[in-house]
Structure 1
Amino acid sequence: MNDKRNYHIIIGSKAFFDSNLPLFDEDDDVHGFLELVKLSDAAKQNKVNIDFDTPILILKNDNYHGIIDAAHDRLGGLIEELTTSDAEIYIHNPPQVLYDYLKSQRNRDIIELDILTQEYTINKNSSEFAKNMQAISEHIIGQENAINEISKSLWYLTNVNRSKPYVIMLYGNSSLGKTELVREIANKFFDGKFYEKHLSMFKNNNYSDYFFGDAPNRKSLGYDLLERESNLIFFDELDKCPEHFYSAFYTLFDNVLFKDANYDVDVSGTLIVLTSNYHSEEEMKKNLGLPIYYRIDKFIHFDDFSCDTIHSIVLNEILSRKEEYQDRLSPEMIYAVVSPVISTQGENARTIKYKVQQVIEELLFEDVLNPPAESNNNN
């Protein structure tokens, strides 16, 4: 008879964890970790002895945030208190202290331990590559040079086996298509999935716990990267991130294993895309500093829109919203009013959307104020 606990570590996204749990029967005595911890705490406060003897325990990764800091150092012992000696225990993305404890227990032949890790892929179908890049170029208007350069990088990544993360910086003025390009890459090469973090949100030292993982019962960059669904990682607006967080990126860009205070994350094979509003590589060297600059594999500039590009985007914006106004207005009516307020240079996607929006609102409102006269049928 097997009297060892059987631990099943599942590393990856929440969907991956859930899909790899067994199909339990209604009669199976299955419990969640946090549920039992709360019951155990209540019993101890009331000085009541309870033997939980749970045969099947599920420990999801967000359960670690429901317990106090001190309990993290004895997660292994806490699991043992709650389960039978031959329990089946399913653990999602364990923090390193628990991972090391379980590996030590396995090496001493005290437990059984298996580890399942999610595999991330990039679309390497060469016969689809040209079609995919053509589709991307049709969505990202006026950035032929950027599309050409990203094509070279994606062709490289789909034809080699690279372990170290590949880091690209998309730079230039705002609202020229940088974020849209990342989304298109995700759709065509990463099954529509990517991990996204807006760095402009991290304004001060209060976010150090997130980047470096100092508090074990809070989310961190390592925690989020472990449960990512794709090997496409997108950090928007690096230029808005305080430089005292850059050391976290040094580790991420340089290694196949990213470590914070609580988690070790395999980031091999990742494509990391950064964006910034810098105008030149020299400006980036000055503001980002050489240590992070030289950890970026490629820099791709986004050009300001030409007059022809602005014209195309205006027409596309008007036509893309046709369902909103087609019963009252025509695209030609909108274009006639909006074209005089559109500049031949200096416009971006955001300013064009704003101006088209204002014109549609004005025309619709004028239609209400000045309804067409009813025809006289009493002849």
Structure 2
Amino acid sequence: METNMRNYHIVIGSKRYFDEYLPDFKKEDSVYDFSDSIKLSDAFRESGKINDHFASILIVRNNNYNGIVEAAHDRLGPLIEELTTSSAEIYIHNPPRILMKYLEEQNDRLSIKLSISREKYEINRDPSIFINNIKEISSHILGQQTALTEISKSLWYLTTVKREKPYVIMLYGDSGLGKTELVREIAKKFFDGKFLEKHLSMFKNDNYTNYFFGDKPNRRSIGFDLLERESNLIFFDELDKCPEYFFSTFYTLFDNVQFKDSTYDVNVSETVIILTSNYNSKEEMQKKLGLPIFYRIDKFIHFNEFNCDTIYRIVQNEILERKVEYNDKISPDAIYAAVSPLVSTSGENARTIKYKVQQVIEDLLFEEIHEKF
């Protein structure tokens, strides 16, 4: 067996995790970035010279794959060998499937050394602070006590058991009722404030096929983003705005501990996937989403319209939270007196209330200068 072998360190996880994994290199170390090495090699070839600059330490970041032509992905393994010494230390972040397979085959032949480090994701399982966490979440989400009770049941289940398969929650109801705010609060209290967030209303046509299915290995895909996530909380906002031809991606993601697109393999075990939509009933969801997705969702939590008391509390909160803007120029009471006739006792949401408070603050501030016109 060869004594001089390349030593590959595969690091699966977020950018932060990869950067923390890298050792403190010495000044005399020949450390090269993969992209820089490619450029240097190309420059030698174009000038007709032989490349004699080989990296003894090569760092291959996950976004480096996006910077090379598609054809080069078929020979990523040999390409790395061409850029490094025979005993190089090579650090690779989230390799695509084709590179991972090549390295595993080389390792099976005892041609290289190979180690794999995977980022560990965990929900906050401390039962002693669970109730306090739920109380703090409830203080930020007004008028949705039933929804908060249901999400508390799910969170207690998830912090108590070890579940491999992804747990999928659908928050549904009209916009502006606190669905997205609830996801952010869950992230703060149970996932160290970290989550992967995708707004599905942005993916409106087949131009995004590459993202959902990973057709092009040198382009960003959902598999790429899932590998790079910093926690096991995944948030897909406005599923009702996503075209149906992307739904097969969600079938695979919701149903398996291993997600695959055409480029990447991703371990998604123990993930918590929260969806939002503006549907108003389960029956509407069944009809619009279809049964294959509907039956892959573990929990449905409805958000009710705000009642009069909740609307009043949200108006008061919005006025007080913005006090730093108007400070001593206007009193909160003056703002409330001006905005209350504009706010209905029903049918309001956080966005409509925010808009009306904004307009009133602008009007009251403008009165002072308007008198001088």
Q: Tell me, yes or no, whether TM beats 0.5.
A: yes
Distance 2:53 2:12 in 1: 27
Give the equivalent residue in structure 2 for 1:286: 287
Give the equivalent residue in structure 2 for 1:374: none
Give the equivalent residue in structure 2 for 1:177: 178
Give the equivalent residue in structure 1 for 2:61: 60
Give the equivalent residue in structure 2 for 1:332: 333
For residue 158 of structure 1, give the secondary structure of its aligned residue in structure 2.
Answer: helix
Aligned-residue offset at 1:327: 1.5
Aligned-residue offset at 1:52: 2.6
Map 1:25-36 onto structure 2 (within 5 A). 25-36=26-37
User: What is the TM-score normalised by the length of structure 2?
Assistant: 0.98
Sequence identity (%): 67
For residue 355 of structure 2, give the secondary structure of its aligned residue in structure 1.
Answer: helix
User: What is the TM-score normalised by the length of structure 1?
Assistant: 0.97
* Aligned: 1:202 with 2:206: no
Q: 40-49 vs 334-343, which deviates more?
A: 40-49
* Aligned: 1:155 with 2:148: no
Distance 1:8 1:341 in 2: 62
Aligned AA (1:171): Y
Distance 2:12 2:56 in 1: 22
For residue 136 of structure 2, give the secondary structure of its aligned residue in structure 1.
Answer: helix
Map 1:40-79 onto structure 2 (within 5 A). 40-79=41-80
Q: 319-328 vs 243-252, which deviates more?
A: 319-328
Q: 81-90 vs 46-55, which deviates more?
A: 46-55
Distance 1:91 1:315 in 2: 52
Aligned-residue offset at 1:177: 0.3
Give the equivalent residue in structure 2 for 1:296: 297
Give the equivalent residue in structure 1 for 2:119: 118
Aligned-residue offset at 1:25: 1.1
Distance 1:287 1:45 in 2: 56
Give the equivalent residue in structure 1 for 2:363: 362
Give the equivalent residue in structure 2 for 1:24: 25
Distance 2:362 2:206 in 1: 43
In structure 1, runs of 5+ residues without a counterpart are 372-379
Per-residue CA deviation, residues 147-200 of structure 1 (Å, 9 max, x unaligned), is 000000000000000000000000000010000000000000000000000000
* Aligned: 1:350 with 2:351: yes
Aligned length: 371
For residue 160 of structure 2, give the secondary structure of its aligned residue in structure 1.
Answer: coil
Aligned AA (2:284): E
Aligned-residue offset at 1:325: 1.0
Distance 1:317 1:54 in 2: 57
Aligned AA (1:96): R
Distance 2:348 2:246 in 1: 33
Contact kept in structure 2, 1:200 and 1:237, CA below 8 Å = yes
* Aligned: 1:187 with 2:225: no
Aligned-residue offset at 1:370: 3.8
Give the equivalent residue in structure 1 for 2:241: 240
Contact kept in structure 2, 1:43 and 1:49, CA below 8 Å = yes
Aligned-residue offset at 1:316: 0.3
Aligned AA (2:297): I
Aligned AA (2:51): I
